Structure 1
Amino acid sequence: MPTPRLGDHGERIAVAYLTDAGLRVLDRNWRCREGELDVVAREHDALVFCEVKTRRGLGYGAPVEAVTPAKQRRIRVLAQRWLAAHDEHAPEIRFDVVGVLVRREGPAQVTHLRAAFS
């Protein structure tokens, strides 16, 4: 599976996982000049910005390890842009990371780090 399709596949798995966990997805693949937010969701009083990372193996580390401090800073900026463009308000803002490890056989392994960074 080519890398762009792998990422799309991982995002579909992550959205299903988040929805099953009770989050309501508000937006997917939202883009602006500075980049893209993978998933924006709501969980009770929290507005959740989720970065999804998908990998086929652990040769370069777990998928969640790919969210570097630089990537975290960019996601914070993108979240500010998303909030400015939408009429959504919440007393809590949270940044989650969802790692999806796609295996050749068997189901994908999903790791959900709540409040992975602030």
Structure 2
Amino acid sequence: MNTNRARGALGRYGEKVAARRLTDVGLRILERNWRCGRTGEIDIVARDGEVLVVCEVKTRRAGPFEHPMAAVTPRKAERLRALAEQWIHAHGGAPPGGVRIDLVGVLLPRRGAPVVEHVRGVA
């Protein structure tokens, strides 16, 4: 399997694990993999009560790689804010509770269950 397909499969698996975690803690998934032209993609759009949650998912295999939570740089956070604005515009306006940007890191150990870390309000 080529590395792009393997990376895509890893990312899709991580997003599935992340979506399950978010629903387990009471969020309602509205959309997955929402694309906006050349601006990019929102991995998961959800509602947490009255708050719209734009969620970035980062999945990594265990090893000497950067921790998934280190992946949201200031530039990435700015892009996520812009995508959130575009999603709101395309879907009829801001929710009463405002918008929050969350990050879900999924770390896949060599053996055992994925380790999932959900950080609220990263940007």
Task: Identify the residue that residue 90 of structure 2 maps to in structure 1.
Answer: 85
State percent identity of aligned pairs: 49
Q: How does 1:17-56 map to 2 (within 5 A)?
A: 17-33=21-37, 34-56=39-61
- Deviations 1:55-77, CA, capped at 9 Å, x for gaps: 00252321011111111111111
Cα distance in structure 1, aligned partners of 2:99 and 2:15? 21
Q: Which of the pair is proportionally richer in strand?
A: 1
Residue 88 of structure 1: CA displacement?
5.4
Equivalent of residue 12 in structure 2, options 1, 4, 8: 8
Q: Distance in 1 between matches of 2:76 and 2:34?
A: 16
Matched, 1:113 2:119: yes
Q: Deviations over 1:2-49 (max 9, x none)?
A: 111000000000000000010000010000111100000001111100
Amino acid at match of 1:73: E
Q: Which runs of 5+ in 1 are unaligned?
A: none
TM-score for both structures, normalised by structure 1: 0.93
RMSD: 1.3
Aligned to 2:105: 99
Residue correspondences, number: 117
Residue-by-residue CA offset, 1:46-102 (whole Å, 9 max, x unaligned) = 110000000002523210111111111111111111111113542221000000001
4+ aligned runs moved over 3 Å, structure 1: none
> What TM-score results when the alignment is normalised by the length of structure 2?
0.90
